[in-house]
Amino acid sequence: MPEDLKSQEYFTEPPYPYRPSIAEYLTKMEVTRDGFIADILHLDKKKNINIEKYDKDSLVIKLVSDKDLNDTEVFLWNFLKKLEKGGIAELNPKKIQHTTLWFYSFLVRNKTVDKFSSGIKLSFGKGWGLSGESAFVPVALTTIIIGFFFGLLTLWLWPLFVLFGLVRVARAPSETRNLLRKFIWRYTVVLFKSLAFFVIVGLSVFPVIVLPFNYFVMDLGISLLDTGSLFLVLPSLLLLFLDVAVFFLSMFLLFSYPCYHYGAVFVDYLNWVFEKKEASENRLAWLKFKAFVCKYSELEKKPLKHYELWGEFYYYALAVGAIKNPKVV
């Protein structure tokens, strides 16, 4: 028997039975459209929904029962409920919005942290009186704030953050790929995107819109004050306040884009650096599963309809990236 076959691990079923989006988060540090759709197929497997038809571009879904759903599955249920017309929801995978995937990734990250009891959990649930997408804004703002301080820290303490990663790799050499691709490369991409964003906005929006508006409002407010009329004092002060408010709001919007992405990288990086051994072992198992599927099957090119044939094997393969950009049929 060839040596590569002797050392190869074989899978007659996925390595773990939990939600496929958790498998995707472990292997990719994010949840993409693939993990989202894999969880939809998982709901079909659990009989919470029934996929009635695989149309040209859409899944035709009947909602059956919302019993025994956890928080992330409730999010999926409510998502499908919004698409429901006459008891049937039509889901076009390509039309799932980025904000929906972003927030779902946040939910799955928290679920993964809970499951393995390691990492940073950004919780905006009962204590805030928020649930589902109502927590979108505070989550985004918190991530932006984290990114702002992370950006400041990396200016002075970047060797320390690199050291954290090297120690993690020394403990588990199989994690080298995560350090290089998921964090160093991801951080570099965010850095250059941020620079490009600053240049584009700095050369377009600020000089063309923000600064002329500020100058106009300030001149108008000062002119009203110079008249000496008591009736014009309040309007002039309001104009000056508006001028300051617009300037600081524009500065916030300018920095929010890079700070959000820095914050997301930082949270995922710390989750990875300090995660427990069980999470690392699970990731390795899923990567081996992905390698097995890619090497010994033709699932990579199979559409979503093949879930009917392959069952959970299909949607776990989809979640970990063994199936690339599948069509519906």
| 254 or 179, which is more confident | 179
**Does residue 49 register a pLDDT over 60?**
yes
Q: What is the pLDDT of residue 316?
A: 95
| 253 or 303, which is more confident | 303
Least confident of 107-111, 157-161, 217-221: 217-221
**Does residue 157 register a pLDDT over 50?**
yes
Which stretch, 104-118, 141-155, 207-221, 300-314, has highest mean pLDDT?
300-314
Q: What is the pLDDT of residue 221?
A: 58
Q: What is the pLDDT of residue 244?
A: 67
Q: What is the mean pLDDT of residues 142-163?
A: 71
Q: What is the pLDDT of residue 320?
A: 93
* Residues 6+ away with beta carbon under 8 Å from 152: none
**Does residue 19 register a pLDDT over 70?**
yes
Full-model pTM: 0.77
- Domain regions of the chain by residue span: 8-118+280-329, 132-274
